[in-house]
């Protein structure tokens, strides 16, 4: 089921990403809204961080060739806690073809890893803070404040010591991304008269 959920996100990301012009990548539905290109980048980066750094404690796809040299992909962080000017800079640097290729590499890594895990592995609680510790981008005050202030940090999670892997993946790497895909659809609907 997790594999199918990740596949659905990847399919929807391709559907939107293939249809975007450079102008739409930097467009916003409102002055305070995030630009479309930033949202798409954030979705791919969030999935990379969620599966690889947060859950597995391994290097993200973005840190492996060819991605460290890829403008628009290699921006440190996942966008959480970014200022509006930082989000605008990401949107202006994203190239849809490269972004979709990166998203595919992340997707393949995630699905390949999922084929190797057991039910017990999915029930384990990852030490996300320890996995994030070696990355300055995940020690930024703005990142930590936003990550520690969302619904994922409610009392029930605090009582168990954290989210099990399966819940972390469905929350961060699937449900969260579907919300952003809805945001992109709404933005494109406002800007072009049609959804993504």
Please, are residues 52 and 62 in contact by the beta-carbon 8 Å criterion? no
Q: Supply the pLDDT for residue 150.
A: 61
pLDDT band at 156 (very low <50, low <70, confident <90, very high): very low
Q: Supply the pLDDT for residue 158.
A: 57
Give percent above pLDDT 90 in the chain: 80
Average pLDDT value for residue range 167-185: 94
Residue 74 has pLDDT above 50, yes or no: yes
User: What's the rounded Cα separation, in Å, for the pair 134 and 130?
Assistant: 8
Q: Supply the pLDDT for residue 125.
A: 95
Q: Supply the pLDDT for residue 157.
A: 59
Say which residue, 155 or 123, is predicted with more confidence: 123
Q: Specify the pTM.
A: 0.93
Q: Supply the pLDDT for residue 161.
A: 67
């Amino acid at each position: 089921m997790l594999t199918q959920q990740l596949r659905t996100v990847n399919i929807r990301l391709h559907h939107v990403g293939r249809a975007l012009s450079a102008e739409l990548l930097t467009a916003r539905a409102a002055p305070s809204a995030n630009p479309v290109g930033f949202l798409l980048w954030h979705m791919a980066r969030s999935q990379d961080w969620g599966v690889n750094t947060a859950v597995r404690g391994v290097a993200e796809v973005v840190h492996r060739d060819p991605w460290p040299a890829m403008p628009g992909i290699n921006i440190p962080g996942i966008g959480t806690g970014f200022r509006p000017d930082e989000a605008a800079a990401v949107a202006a640097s994203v190239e849809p073809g490269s972004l979709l290729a990166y998203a595919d590499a992340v997707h393949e890594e995630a699905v390949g890893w999922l084929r190797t895990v057991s039910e017990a592995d999915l029930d384990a609680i990852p030490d996300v803070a320890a996995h994030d510790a070696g990355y300055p981008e995940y020690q930024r005050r703005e990142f930590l404040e936003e990550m520690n202030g969302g619904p994922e940090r409610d009392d029930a999670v605090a009582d168990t010591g954290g989210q099990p892997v399966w819940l972390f993946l469905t929350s961060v790497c699937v449900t969260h991304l579907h919300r952003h895909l809805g945001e992109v659809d709404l933005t494109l609907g406002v800007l072009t008269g049609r959804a993504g």
